[in-house]
Each structure stands twice: as C-alpha cells, then as structure tokens.
Structure 1
Amino acid sequence: MKMNWDTLLNEKRFKKSSSDKLEFDNRNSFSSDYSRIIFSSSFRRLQDKTQVFPLKRGDFVRTRLTHSLEVSHISSSIGKAIEYKKQLKDDKISSILAVAGLIHDIGNPPFGHFGEFVIQKFFKEFFEKNNLNLSQRQENDLIYFDGNVQTFRILKKLQYLGNEFGYNLTYGTLATIIKYPKNSVEGNKKNSLNIEEKKFGYFLSEDLDYKKINDELGLNNNRHPLTYLLEASDDIAYCVADIEDGIQKKLITLEDIKEQINKYKDRSDEKNLNSLIALEENINKYELENIQIKKSKGNRLYEKIIIQKIKIYLQSQMINNTISTFLENENDILNGIFKRELLDVSSYKEIKNLFKNLAENKIFNSKERVEIDLLGYQVIDTLLNIFVSSALEILDKGKEASIYSKGIYSLISDNYKLIYEEYEMKNAKTKEDKIYNTLKLCTDFISGMTDTFALELYKKLKVY
C-alpha cells in the first residue's frame, strides 16, 4: 500500500499533551518537539561527545552537539525546499527534519562509533562465555548494539518525566530517526542491497512502540520518507567537515584531496565525473584567489581557508542534488520500493565516498586517533565488566549480594533505575526477560555517558 503525506505527517503522540496550547503559540506539534529536545539534558550531553577526536578540546573541534546543529540546519533547509516544490504551507516537513537533525545522534555512546564496536564485542564474548538462555533477538539486541537504536529508546522511554513516555514526541518525529525499520534478527544483513536491512532500528523492549508508530503512519515496515533526507543531511554535514577537522589537525592536506579526485575520476560514471571535475576546477580557482594569503601568512591558514570554501561549495551542491533526487524518486519512496541512499543515486556518490575514505585512511587510522580508541576500549570494556557483573549478582542474590555490587548499582542514574524497576522489571514474565532488562540497564547507563564522565568514572573504579 502506498504511503501518503497526510498520514505520514501525523502529529499524534503516545500520550495526549496535558497542557493547553497558549494563545500566541502557533507552532505545529513538530516544532514543539524541537523545544522539548533543545532544553533537555540528553541533548546537552552531546557537547561532551566529540565527533572525530574524543577528549580533545579546542575552538575548532566538532562535538556531537555542533554536528547535530549543523544536520538540523541542513535537513530543515532541505525540508523547506521540498515544501516549496510541493506547494505545502504548513512547515511540517521542515519542522520534523529540524528536530530529527537535533536528535539523530542522542543515542551515541562515548567514543563514538568505536564505542559502539566495544559494546558489541563485549556482549558477543559475554554470550559465548555465559549460557543465559536468552532468545536470539534478546542477544542480538546487545551483540549488534547501535547508537541509532539507542536513540529511539532514549526518546521513547529513558528520559523520565513522570511516566514511561519519555519526551512523548510525535509519531512523525520518532519514525524519521528510525533508519533501519527491522528488528535485530530481521536486520544486520551487512551485504544486503536493501539499505533498510543493513542494521536494525528498535530493541525488543520497544517492539510494541515501533509497531504502533508503523501502523499509525501506514509505513508498511518501510522507512519514513523523511528518513532519506535526514540520512543525506547527516552525510552532507560530516563528510567534508571531518576533512576540515583533519586539515586543522595537520593530518590531511589539499594535495591529498586533489590526489584522491584524480583517482576517483578514473572510475566514475559520467554524472559523477562531471561533479569531480567541477570540484577540481573550484579548488584550482580558490587556490588562485588566495595565493597572496599563502605567500604572506603561510600554508596552514591558506589550506584552512581553501577547505572552508570547498565545504561551502560542496554542501550547497549536495543539498541541491539531494532535493532533486528525492523529488525524482518520491513515488518509489512512497511505494516502499526505493532501497538505497539518496546520495548513492545522485551525482555526488563518488565525492561522498572520496571524503569518507580519505577520513578513514588519514584521520581514523592516525596515531592520535588510534591512541584515543585504545583508551576508549579500556574505559568502556572495563565499565561494562564492572556494572554487568554487579547488576547480575544483585538480580540473582538480591539483598544477599555483596556490598561492592550494591555500591556499583547505586552509581547508576536514578532515572534509568526507575524505568528499569518500575516499568520493565514489573512487566518481565520470565527469568530471561529479567536478565535481558538488567543487561539493558547497564548498557543504557554506560552508553549515555559523556566521554569525560566515562573516563573519570573508569579512573575512580580502577582504584578500588
């Protein structure tokens, strides 16, 4: 069944708002979602979760907070253009995309994507050593832990505001941040040609919540169409921004970029080749325009200026191309048969891949980044070992558990424990459900930490 925009832009919430709308409040419900997020503690914590270089401070270093603001701006701009083209005057699309940009990384653990890897590895080895009789889906939820999935859990449940509804965001907003509308058994097919199956989108603990959203919006277990625009906005924001940070850290040079352009030109189809040639021509133009800066101020300032110009040029071009690609494929998207990223069918696929690969080779494999990742591994792995063993001992022995385990359990944030004790454990029907909930509690707490908090707690607990 074809999706339709009237249903997709549903402003319904899980719980009806308890406050009356004020006389001069002309916001739609999605703009109200934006307000709920931007004043929240979960959003503020993103300022201490660094995008590329965890634990590094400086006025140029992007945090998850600044990245999220950039994504919010880009996605909202794209939404406004879509509304203009479709002659829509209610601002619903741009409002959803603005808030989705803010929240898309809220579930990321400390130390970024490497933190995800450490959590995944910990539970893979944990279940190999311990036969707890959990279902395949319960184990997969943890073995394939993903920040995007944790985002949905935080938004729907973990931000305790007096009930189990979390931020109580609209269905439309929540659906937009679910990139992979599959559970952990159906998804996680890395080699699938269907983008929706490569990872998963919701834990077993939020299974009924997802189903309610899916049914209410008529998604038919497909992505919300705006998810494609959010995903493209994320790529547009970081693929050049990571390179800008790399140049700031002297890990990448303009020559590296030009060398990669020449390599990609040899393998690109015509539409991508034209984009690469245009990029090359613009770089040459920016270099000529700023040659005096190079002579008078040196190469470092010169390269910083050039990469900023490249970023401005490419982001504007990629935004424009994303809009046209979405509109060209809108019918297939609404019919649920479009299964690729928008940028991967655009004329900027190779440029996106070029910058991603350059960041991978020059930044994420750099000595500085590897040292940070090794520290992150020790921090997260150690914390998981301590909290999981203690929480399981309390589950097993109750009041007879050791003083140490009780002390460790007391360190877990009260709001996480409240959701765990008052809602999830009271609904647990089996021993396995209780174990699953307990493991999730530990993961909620540790993945919700900022980089600095995780490191400081690690140092304190290592002393004992």
Structure 2
Amino acid sequence: MHRALFSSLRQGTQSPYDELRPPFLIDYDRLIFSNPFRRLSKKTQVHPLAKNDHVHNRLTHSLEVASVGRTLGLGVGHHILRIDPKCPHSPYDVAAIIQSACLAHDIGNPPFGHAGEEIIKEWFTHHASPYMDELSMEERADFLAFDGNAQSFRIITQLENHPKEGGMRLTHSTQASMIKYPWEAIDPRSGGKKFSFFQSEKKIARELLEGFGLKEATELLRHPFSYLMEAADDICYALLDIKDAVELGMLKANQMEEIFLPLCGEKEYQKSLSSQGNSDYEKVSRLCAIAIGRLTQQALESFIAHELLTPKKGVKDLVSLFIDKSLREGLEKAKALGHEKIFNEPRKIELELGAYRTIGILLENLIHAAYSLHRGEESFKTKHALMLIGHHAPRREQSLYEKYRAVLDFITGMTDNYATHLAGQLGGMGR
C-alpha cells in the first residue's frame, strides 16, 4: 500500500524529466521561489506587526516546520525501506514531500494570522444579507467558516504560476500531504471552522485523494503523510510561540516547569535553567531545541507503531497518538499556555483590534464593489476599487461566488503592512 502513496503526476502539463532534481524536490524549489511564499515574511505568526526582529513571522515558522517535517520524512522513508527493500522511492523522496507540504501549509493565511481568519468569518456573518442572499448554502459556508488551509490549497492548485491550469503544478503526493481536513466547510466534521478546500477546489481535491484510493464509502481519507506535516506544525508552533513570548517579556523561564520538565527530562531541565550568564531567552531556546528533538523522535515512533502508512478513518492527529504520555501532555500544556498567556496579551489584543478595522475596511469596500458589479450598479468608486486587484479582478461574467473568491484571493495575499496601508487609503475615502 505504501508504494501507492507516491505520485509524481501534476495538474496540467507534465514537467520534462530533470536528471538533477527528483520531482518532489522540484516541488520544494517551486514553493521557495513563489511570490506567496516570499510574502509570508511580512505576515503575522502570533504577534502582529512585531518590531522585534527575533520574533517569528509566518515565513520563519514555515521554514522551521519544514525542517522538522523533513526529519520525520527521512525517518518514515527509512522505515519504508526496512519493510520494503525494493521500494523505488528513497527516504529523501519522502523527506522532500513532507518538507514541501510544510512549506505550503500556511501559504494561504491572510494578513494578521489566525486573527485575520476570524475577522473574515465574523465580517461575512454580520454582512450575510444582502451580500450572500444569492449564494448556495455550500458557497455561503466557505465564507462564514473561512479557513487559511483551504486558501493554501487554492493557491497551489489554482492561482499561482498557472492560473486555472494547475496552479503551481506540484506533484500529487505533495498536494495530498497538505490536506489535513478532507472535507468541505458545510460538512459537520468541519465544526464551522476547519476544512481543507472550498467549493471552487472541491472537484480537484476529490479527484486527487480518490486517485490515491483514499476513500471509504462516501468519505475521503487523509493521505498518511499529512499526519507528519501536521505533527511538525504542532511541535513548532507550540514551543516557538513560547520562545517568542520570552523574548517579548511576556513569560519567564522559571514559569514553564510543567512544560519543559516532561518534555526535556529532569537533568536537561535543571542544567538549562541553572546555566550561569545565560538570559531567559537563551535558556528557553536550549530547552525548546531539546524538546523539539524528543518530540520529533516520538512523532516518528508513534507513526510507525500505529501503522499510519495504512490510511485509516477516524484518526484525529498524530500527537494524540503519542506513545509517551508525558511528552503528549507536555506538548498540550505548551499549547494551553500559549492560549492562556500569549493569545490574550493586552498589546497583542490592541493590535488585533486594529487588524479588525483594517480587514473590515478592505472587505467593506471590495466585497461591496464586487456585489455592485454583479448587480450592474457600479459607481466611479467601486470601479476603481476593483482596479486595485489588477488583472485578477472580478469579471462581470463570473458568478457572484467567483467574484467574492477573487476579492478574498487579493486580500489574503496581502502582507500585514500592505493591508494596513491600503485600508488607510480606502478608509479615508468613505464609501
């Protein structure tokens, strides 16, 4: 079964054979050189518009996740060779697939990170009428439950490099490894917030996963490699968000015993904490490095022990299957600390309130302009507002759903800085 998890097929025209670069490594290169990936350097990871250069942005986060993902891929690749010595795919193929999926996993996140997602959802909830009166229930759900995961899948399959003709044309294995939630927004499993493809990409996602045989009855299943991508993300954001909080003075090293003691062990914890001459940031950096190493090894061992190379229904995530209870609980406590101390920090909340106004102004002007175009009621201002989007602006012949998708493609592609600048321009003009 594991051989069926590899596919170098791509949407659109197939790439010619490259003797220097295997197909999965080409995926990595395409992502690294892409415009949406580069713009992640000016998008929020946790702390909006951070002036401290030591703090993570969405780009540095993605690179670190990709590093952990590559290690997990190598480990699983060597496991495949042990059980199937004649497998035509090397451990480096698995590593490149996971590394590429990790690079792409946040490429569709809007400005201001997860706060941006919540602002978009809330705006559409409050402006459902008249803007969404003509949409189907499935289409409405895409906006009411907007998810950056689905926008990432849209970028790589539809928007970047070859619009509507395969997008980045990444291999099927890399694309499938990105899909954490193989269902649409209206599916009850989404909980109104977590899904991996919009209606506009539903057919692509279904054909992609069915091509791997990832279907049971009417339900699509996750590609096994997606668990590795997700675990790499979980490990990095839980710990490195804490590291940023220490750098910004929100937390002290001695406040995190219940996290790092189980993750690093008594000896390493005490050694790091008692080191003379080191700042809190240096102490926590060392503890994070040790913890990431142990958690990565645990993720690999748990993936193999639970035989996740065989697609399974009902597996929530890899972290919940960790064999070592102390490591699992330590990671969960790190996440909980993030939500308790970091996500509710006053300065962060102030900036997110500013982000609410910023994205609200953009949506108010551009969604209104798209709606006016659809109704044949354009004004001088709405015409000029849509001109800002450039050659990907909504077109008259498109459905209302497609027009709104084009607006969100534009807004979610913005950096924090550009969104703030453009909202300032539009906000000063009135509607």
Fold equivalence (TM over 0.5): yes
- Name the count of aligned residue pairs: 415
| Code of the aligned partner of 1:444 | D
1:445 match: 410
The answer for the alignment partner of 1:392 in structure 2 is 371
- Give the structure 1 partner of residue 424 of structure 2: 459
CA deviations 1:59-106 (Å, max 9, x no partner) are 311111111111111101111111112216522211101111111100
Q: Give, in whole Å, the separation in 1 of the partners of 2:375 and 2:123.
A: 21
Structure-2 separation of matches of 1:231 and 1:401: 44
Partner secondary structure for residue 243 of structure 1: helix
Q: Work out whether residues 299 and 319 of structure 2, in 8 Å CA contact, stay in contact via their aligned partners in 1.
A: yes
What residue is the counterpart of 1:286 in the other structure? 272
Q: Match for 1:10 among 2, 7, 10?
A: 7
Q: Which residue of 1 aligns with 2:55?
A: 61
* 2: CA distance, partners of 1:386 / 1:5: 49
> Matches of 1:122 and 1:277 in 2, distance apart?
40
Alpha-carbon distance, 1:189 to partner: 4.3
Tell me which amino acid in the other structure corresponds to 1:32: I
Structure 1 outlier segments of 4+, above 4 Å = 128-131
Q: Alpha-carbon deviation of 1:340?
A: 2.1
Q: Percent identity?
A: 31
Please state how far the C-alpha of 1:281 moved relative to its aligned partner.
Answer: 4.1
Give matches, 1:219-298, under 5 Å. 219-220=214-215, 221-258=220-257, 260-261=258-259, 276=262, 279-288=265-274, 290-291=275-276, 293=277
Q: 2:212 maps to which residue?
A: 217
Residue pair 2:209, 2:223 contacting (<8 A) in 1 also: no
Q: Distance in 2 between matches of 1:30 and 1:160?
A: 17
Contact 1:109 1:147 survives alignment (8 Å): yes
Using the TM superposition, give the Cα deviation of residue 131 of structure 1 relative to its aligned residue in structure 2, in angstroms.
Answer: 5.8
Residue 321 of structure 2 aligns with an amino acid whose one-letter code is V
1:329-348 equivalences under 5 Å are 329-330=306-307, 334-346=310-322, 347=324, 348=327
SS of match in other structure, 2:127: helix
1:306 and 1:86 mapped to 2: Cα distance?
37
Please tell me whether the aligned partners of residues 184 and 199 of structure 1 are also in contact (alpha carbons under 8 angstroms): yes
| SS of alignment partner, residue 334 of structure 1 | coil
User: Any stretches of 5+ residues in structure 2 without a counterpart?
Assistant: 82-86
Gaps of 5+ in 1: 191-196, 263-274, 294-300, 429-433
- Decide which structure has the larger Cα Rg and report it: 1
Tell which deviates more after alignment, 9-18 or 236-245. 9-18
Deviations 1:354-405 (A, max 9, x none): 11111222211111100111011010111101101111111211xx621100
User: In structure 2, what is the equivalent of residue 270 of structure 1?
Assistant: none
* Correspondence for 1:21 among 17, 24, 27: 17
Higher helix share: 1
* Separation (CA, whole Å) in 2 of partners of 1:120 and 1:16: 36
Alignment match of 1:373 (pick from 352, 362, 378): 352
Q: Distance in 2 between matches of 1:131 and 1:95?
A: 41
In the TM superposition, residue 57 of structure 1 has moved relative to its aligned partner by: 2.7
Q: TM-score, normalised by structure 1?
A: 0.85
Instruction: Kindly provide the amino acid, as one letter, of the partner of residue 6 in structure 2.
Output: L
Whole-angstrom distance in 1 between the partners of 2:344 and 2:180: 27
Residues 145, 193 of structure 2: 8 Å contact kept:
no
Q: Give the residue type in structure 1 aligned to 2:9.
A: K
Distance 1:130 1:17 in 2: 40
TM-score, length-scaled by structure 2: 0.91
SS in structure 2 of the partner of residue 174 of structure 1: helix
Give 2:176's aligned residue. Answer: 175
Structure 2: distance between partners of 1:351 and 1:164: 44
For 2:251, the aligned partner's letter is I
- When residues 349 and 62 of structure 1 are mapped into structure 2, their CA distance, relative to the original with a 3 A threshold, is same
Of 278, 284, 288, the match for 1:311: 288
Contact 2:263–2:291 (Cα < 8 Å) also in 1: no
